[in-house]
A and B are shown apart, each in its own frame.
Chain A
Amino acid sequence: MHPILSHRRRLLVYLAAWLAFGLLLAGVIAVSGPAAFPWAAAFAAPLALLLGLMSLSCWYLVRLLPAGTTALPRMARTWLAAGVVDLAIWIALAHAWSWVLGLAQGAHSQLPAASMTPLLLFAGCIGLSVAVLGYYMLAAFQTSREAQQRALELRMAAREAEMQLLRRQIDPHFLFNSLNSVAALIGTDAAAARRMCFLLADFFRRSVKLGACQTIALADELALAGAFLAIEEVRFGARLRSRVDATAEAGAVGVPALILQPLVENAVHHGIAHLLEGGDITVAAATRDGLLDITVENACDPDRPPSRGTGTGLANVRGRLMALYGTQAVLDVDSRPGCFQVRMRLPAAPARETPCAS
């Protein structure tokens, strides 16, 4: 894509610069004597604009002969040839233009085009050279920006892969504590112990399956959160009360696998676990204006500053959203005394079947 032709404003600035160049040239003509300034301006300004339009095509040569990788002799040859051709055409057109102007002005004060040829040649050389140098600078700038963008994308992809790997690992303390609950229940309530085993099996099966996927339906993610909360409710007893609310449309939306789970785990470990009397955790999801809106809210100890653990969990979720959706996704944290809320909004595209690694 042409860096100037494809942008209206840049094209206007570019032509204005050439117009200024034309007026400068007119000034030189007026001072050196061949014509008065108004006539010199009428002669030089259109010619400068013409040279500007002609040199637009130099961009393609710049791309063809990139600086740094092109052999110097080849570069010199090509540019010399291009310059000679361009300037020859331009000077010929300048002669034609002075003849036309001469007709309009009346025969008694012809613009002496022939005497101005050396000056035109000199000005044309300068104008073209500056344009070509400018294009080379623009090309260098574009290349470095593209390289930066690519590096960023690569980093994001690597981060996403790493994050996914991390998410697939289950927190061992969750397992130890759950097993402790099962061991306790076996002595007092065998049926409840059995139920806990099924809950654990359900949670681990889901989590292994989801961890292998890129994108999943939110309903699957919510089912995992539900299984997790059900297990923690057994462990914490009356201290933990949880609710998961989602509309059917929200459940069908595709989300990055395990994007919600860290937030739900934070709500338990950094919220409810620090409250003597416990509290509520609410997970809610709905679609609004083409966006999926998910909130995770939990009670928390107002005297406890947010710990580092929450920070990394949140940062990971934020990083993944950033890598996958850029500015289209938003993550807001609302921390009031006694209540902690994370709100996530991302584009609501329906879940597609994506290949899951086994």
Chain B
Amino acid sequence: MRVLIVDDEPLARAFLAEQLGAMAGVEVIGEAANGFEAVKLAEGLAPDLLLLDVQMPRLSGLEVLELLGERAPQVVFVTAHDEFAVRAFEVHAVDYLLKPVEQARLAQAIERAAARLMAPRDRAGSAPTGIASLLAAPRSPDHPLQRVLIREAEHVHVLPVHRIDFIEAQDDYLSFAAGGRRHRKQQTLSQIESQLDRTRFVRIHRSFILNVERIVRIDPYAKDSWQVQLADGTRLPMSRTGYQRLKEVLD
């Protein structure tokens, strides 16, 4: 089995590599010190299994999976925190190991992963379904989305939500407008709406979500429709329901 180790702590990586080295049939094909490296290596090396830390700088373990999407291999989470376990199993992780990781427990996780790899294709293919839920799952108002991950060719773009001016739905894509630039991502407007901070982002139209901090003025446009002007001069249409939603947030 070809394994990729992802952890931001050099000692933690060395420890896992050492333990895996003693196991028959397991080969450590690479180590990544952060989420960006992890995405790159996972795509380049196509490992069978990711040993993935959850809390890492810039990109968390769950965000690495979101970016890998359907190309994600089997995953075993390795962390000192037990509070991510529920989400880990939502994305169909093989196992969830707590640091410090015991050799016997690690061996057990590897066995499980091997069993899944041997299993018929439809079971092995269950992971992507789980990962799709990362993009779709609504978030509680207390923990809104902090940043949006966007892949542009070989690059991963981390867009903090406070930089977003507005989001526009285009066919089955979303177009994120931020500081005059546009970023495309495959997701639906309802999905992102349910994850954003509702006191800051309002769906003003069937095709638009607006960062309310960018509003400069609102003008009546036609019967039951308005036009919103943003700080950078952009004008967006606003429907009657959008107007009511915006009023609720601003009041």
Which residues of A are at the interface with B, using a C-beta cutoff of 8 A? Answer: 173, 176-177, 179-185, 187-188, 234-237, 239, 273-276, 301, 303-305
Contacts and interface: CB of A to CB of B under 8 A. Distances in A.
A275 B57 contact: yes
Given A184-B12, A235-B9, 6 more contacts: A179-B100, A181-B12, A187-B18, A273-B55, A274-B57, A276-B34
Interface of B: 8-12, 14-15, 18, 34, 36, 55, 57-58, 80-81, 98-101, 146-147, 158, 160, 162
Nearest to A302: B160
Given A177-B99, A274-B58, A303 B147 contact: yes
Contacts of A304: 146, 160
Contact of B14 (A177, A182, A188, A301): A188
Contacts of B58: 274, 276, 301
A180 B80 contact: yes
A176 B55 CA distance: 14
Nearest to B15: A184
Given A173-B81, A177-B80, A303-B147, A235 B55 contact: no
Contacts, number: 65
Contacts of B162: 305
Contact of A185 (B11, B55, B57, B160): B11
A275 B58 CA distance: 7
Main secondary structure of the interface of A (DSSP, over half): helix
Contact of A234 (B11, B14, B100, B147): B11
A73 to B, nearest CB: 58
20 contacts: A177-B80, A179-B100, A180-B9, A180-B100, A180-B101, A181-B11, A183-B101, A184-B12, A184-B14, A184-B18, A187-B15, A187-B18, A188-B18, A236-B9, A273-B8, A273-B57, A274-B57, A274-B58, A276-B36, A305-B162
A234 B9 CA distance: 9
Contact of B12 (A180, A239, A276, A305): A180
Nearest 8 A/B pairs, CB to CB:
A184-B15, A176-B80, A180-B100, A180-B99, A184-B11, A183-B100, A237-B10, A274-B57
A184 B106 CA distance: 14
Contacts of A185: 11
A121 B57 CA distance: 86
Contacts of A179: 99-100
Contacts of B99: 176-177, 179-180
A64 to B, nearest CB: 55
With a 10 A CB-CB cut-off, give which of B11, B58, B146 has the most chain A CB atoms.
Answer: B11
Contacts of A187: 14-15, 18
A276 B100 contact: no
B158 A180 contact: no
Contacts of A234: 11
Given A173-B80, A180-B101, A184-B18, A237 B11 contact: yes
A186 to B, nearest CB: 9
A188 B19 CA distance: 12
B181 to A, nearest CB: 15
Contacts of A180: 9, 11-12, 15, 80, 99-101
Nearest to A185: B11
Nearest to B36: A276
A304 B163 CA distance: 11
A305 B146 contact: yes
A45 to B, nearest CB: 59
A47 B9 CA distance: 88
Nearest to B33: A276
Nearest to A172: B80
A275 B34 CA distance: 10
Nearest to A275: B57
B131 to A, nearest CB: 23
B161 to A, nearest CB: 9
Contacts of B98: 176
With a 10 A CB-CB cut-off, give which of A179, A180, A275, A303 has the most chain B CB atoms.
Answer: A180
Contacts of A183: 15, 100-101
Contacts of A182: 100
Contacts of A173: 80-81
Nearest to A176: B80
Contacts of B57: 273-276, 301
Contacts of B9: 177, 180-181, 235-237
A239 B13 CA distance: 15
B90 to A, nearest CB: 22
Nearest to A307: B146
A234 B162 CA distance: 35
B33 to A, nearest CB: 8
A13 to B, nearest CB: 45
Contacts of B11: 180-181, 184-185, 234-235, 237
